[in-house]
Amino acid sequence: MSKLSTSKWSKYKVMRKSKELRAYLPETAWLKESAFWRMMNKYDQVIIKPTGSYGGHGVIRFKKTEASEYELHDGAKKKTFRNQAQVNAYLKRKTGKSFIVQQRIRLATVKRRPFDLRVMVQRRPSSRWQVTGKLAKVAGAGFIVTNIRMSGGKVIPVEQAIQRSQLKTMRTEDLLAQLDKVALKSAAKLAPSYPWVKTMGIDMAFDKDGHVWIIEVNYAPMLELFLKLKDKSMFRKIKSFHKNK
């Protein structure tokens, strides 16, 4: 029996089967013209991204403007489409090429820059999943993606991101506990379908109301992100699990 695909779409479908996890998953569909407009009409903003890429490559936001036009935000570049026909012509070049369309989450921000979270969940052979580290990735100026290399953003401790954002009025301990809980549930749901995986880098986020979202799950996460934190203890812990996988 062949292994299940590790694409974003395949992992989303596995997690979507869990009633517990559904509340934390942005609505996602295979990119088709009909799915795109259904979501645009529902949310006014959507994300389009390739289902097999990493590092923020190919992630595009579409937003309906007050003038009833459509703004595309790709990297630091923006482009305006005047009507649906122009958008459809653009989508035609993307459909059929392994793209998904996803509800756009209005992420919490630090100095008006969106941030998301990398949560590391790992297990040793024959042991339970554990959260071994987490950090916040703050997008660079003008970017919607938080990938540090692409946007020129920065890595900071999660607690610091919370205290510098709209979430500072909420209890940090409660937010972190919810983050860990959802991360562990995600790993537990994915594990039976991907039994060889012992390390997951789960990209998660808080919206401006403090609700937790699962953005995507990476089975080959870049551990060196944790070296950008002043405190290296999380990196050492993550590496110790990684060596014994």
At 201-222, the pLDDT tens digits run 999 999 999 999 999 999 999 8
Q: Are 214 and 204 in contact (CB under 8 A)?
A: yes
* DSSP letter (8 states) at residue 207: B
Instruction: Please give the pLDDT value at position 2.
Output: 46
CA gap 242, 149 in Å, rounded = 23
| 57 pLDDT more than 90 | no
- Of 129, 186, 180, nearest to 14 (Cα)? 186
Among 4-13, 25-34, 136-145, 200-209, which stretch is predicted with the lowest mean pLDDT? 136-145
Give the pLDDT mean for 58-73. Answer: 86
Instruction: Please give the pLDDT value at position 95.
Output: 63
The model's pTM: 0.90
Residue 3's pLDDT band (cuts 50, 70, 90): low
Identity at 237, one-letter amino acid code: K
Domain residue limits, the chain: 28-103, 107-243
Residue 91's pLDDT band (cuts 50, 70, 90): confident
pLDDT (tens digit per residue) in 100-131:
999 999 999 998 888 999 999 999 987 899 99
Instruction: Please give the pLDDT value at position 199.
Output: 96
CA gap 142, 44 in Å, rounded = 20
What percentage of the chain carries pLDDT values higher than 70? 89
Cβ contacts of residue 162 below 8 Å, gap of 6+?
A: 108, 168, 170, 172, 175, 206
* DSSP letter (8 states) at residue 243: H
| 83 pLDDT more than 70 | yes
| 54 pLDDT more than 70 | no
Instruction: Please give the pLDDT value at position 1.
Output: 37
How confident is the prediction for the chain on average, in pLDDT?
88
Residue with tokens 């040793």: 124
Class of domain 107-243: alpha beta
| 152 pLDDT more than 60 | no
Q: Are 243 and 223 in contact (CB under 8 A)?
A: no
